[in-house]
Structure 1
Amino acid sequence: MMSSTGSFMARLSDVARDVEVCLEALLSNEARSGEMARPERLISAMRHAALGGGKRLRPFLTIETARLFSREGAGPLRSGSAIELLHCYSLVHDDLPSMDDDDLRRGRPTVHKAFDEATAILAGDALQTLAFEILADPATDPDAVVRAELVFGLARASGLGGMVGGQQLDLAAEGRYGPASLSEADIRRLQMMKTGALLTFSVEAGAILGRADTTAREALRAYGRALGAAFQVADDILDREASAEALGKRTGKDLEKGKATLVDHLGMEGAKRECRHLVEDAQTALEPFGPDAQILREAVRFVAEREV
């Protein structure tokens, strides 16, 4: 019999494969109905950014949350793939010379290195807009209200008060606009916006697709917030302990730039303890769903304990 961890990893791998197939189709070279053309260099850069790598955690969360409510098939897959495209756009822009100035992503040259900076900016823009196009398409869900909720939720999670706003706070934390001294509360807010908001919405999207009631959605939102926070603390720990070869990207960036993280405020052991507490909070939020939420329980443990 396969262990629960083995079952989880098999499921994660299956979803990643399905998402890859879906992304391949969405990022095909052929122009779709209503499009005039797909410029070859631009679509190649988009494919470089989105295909052939990553754990596909965000679509996994969407798909598995929707399954809690017996909602499976094209809707959750397309929605999760849209969120992944939005995430990939953020990575392309995050790697730019004006941002983190990274040369490697997932062990491969970043988009601006593989192509050029202008193409990387345009590829990110196009990935972002394609994400919203997918969510607004009736092929994702026949109910216009559901589609509107998905579009609204992704915009809120990824924009001014979410991921993009968090990136601005992150730049300020590096001292770009003057001396920066972040409190623990400042760090938590920055991380919840930059990283946590999109992870939380990945869970919420599954609940929206599943027509979950208000009580269930609030429980899942609490789960998503705890998972998002655990993800970032684990990321901070990996940035100090893992090798660049293992992660497929440069490590030690925050330390180089003098930017404080929870590892600095809590110490390494304190950060690991915080990660365990967040896992417990996420598990508690899932209690109303009983054994049906086992895969989501495994997901938060995976996030906290991953080594890459």
Structure 2
Amino acid sequence: MTQLTDHETERATRIISAVEEAFASKVVGQQTLLRSLLVTLVARGHVLMESVPGLAKTLSASVLSSAVKASFSRVQCTPDLLPSDIIGTQVYDPRTSTFSTQLGPVHAHFVLLDEINRSSAKTQSAMLEAMQERQTTIGGETHRLPDPFLVLATQNPIDEEGTYVLPQAQMDRFLLKEVLDHPSPLEEARMLRRLADGGLRDTRVQPVASLEDVVFLQSVADRVHVDEAVLRYIVEIVNVTRNPHSYLAADVARSIELGASPRGAIAFLQAARALAVLAGRDHVLPEDVVALRHQVLRHRLILTFEAVATRVRADDVVDAVFAAVPTP
């Protein structure tokens, strides 16, 4: 693996700084969300965002896509949404007695699936091939998706009426799950001031980077150095989630029904490398793994019925897992 040069690291830092500045010009606060979006983009992953409505999830996705000059499509998920509404279908032309392929909205660089857990399981499963294989199959013909390709899905809290639990096979394909909270009073006051001054009437942002820059950032992340000690640290963390009774207190261990799959370990590696790029480093620190622990694991740990009934927080279980493994 070719070592990163200072020039490459500096260029990556300039691109990241420009995108962050463009994001801040339209979105007030949400710095944690911005970090997760950038990490997901650089790591070639997908992100699941959970919150009540009105916390700028759609705006954030739109602004980020505009900042890197990427194509953007939005799908409002509803119970009657069909798989063909997302991936596309074949349309019959009676004039020529032939079929033509009409590609769906998933064929864009940035795809926002709004309220994904309001769609049926059949429609949710239609995204699995796109998210994992980065292709769709329509009428027996395979169509490659654009590169880069990023799915940003939003999810309402699961206890809201009219929502469905996402299948674990699909949850596991999201690199990160970000849970958003309401803005602080100071941030909300800034938002109102910007709105009163007319600063939020136009949510468009001028491109500050290109798709080639995004591909460059992804290639940089692929060459970020990861020490053997950090790799062992990731493996040990994932192993604790699979064997909780051997490492955790009995009450915490009883909360875990199923631990993380190998995708969890891969997600830690990819996300930590991307976070190092955001920090302007050419190597991963153990702190990079710790910093994204909740986003990587909160949707990969399956809690027992008893834990869910007593409102045990997945983030608290994740903290207990990390406390059981010494940091290298």
TM-score (norm 1): 0.29
TM-score calculated relative to the size of structure 2: 0.28
* More strand by percentage: 2
Larger RCO (CA within 8 A; separation ≥ 6) = 2
Structure number, greater radius of gyration:
2
